[in-house]
């Protein structure tokens, strides 16, 4: 349901600005990357999306 939202739509749902949403998303990806083992497929996927 939420995965198809644009950044602007997701920001509206959260009640924050689009810029705030993108910053939160970047921080969440960085935190997740820090919890995954270096060089794993998942970290490569996240890096490609950043």
What is the predicted pLDDT for the residue at 32?
A: 84
Instruction: Please give the pLDDT value at position 43.
Output: 54
Does the residue 49 lie in any domain? yes
- Whether 44 is in a domain gets the answer yes
Residue-wise pLDDT for 2-50, tens only, equals: 789 999 999 999 999 999 999 999 999 888 877 776 666 565 665 666 5
pTM beyond 0.85: the answer is: no
The pLDDT value recorded for residue 5 is 92
Q: Which residues of 2-37 are buried (b: 16+ CB within 10 A; e: fewer)?
A: eeeeeeeebbeeeeeeeeebeeeeeeeeeeebeeee
Q: What is the DSSP letter of 2?
A: G
Number of domains forming the structure of the chain:
1
What's the pLDDT at 21? 95
45-49: which pairs have CB atoms within 8 A and are 24 or more residues apart? Answer: none
Q: Hey, is 35 helix, strand or coil?
A: helix
Domain enclosing residue 43, as ranges? 25-50
Any domain includes 47: yes
Whole-number pLDDT of residue 45: 61
């Amino acid at each position: 349901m939420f995965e198809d939202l644009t950044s602007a739509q997701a920001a509206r749902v959260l009640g924050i600005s689009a810029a705030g949403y993108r910053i939160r998303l970047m921080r969440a990806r960085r935190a997740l990357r820090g919890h995954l083992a270096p060089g794993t497929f998942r970290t490569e996927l996240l890096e490609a999306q950043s």
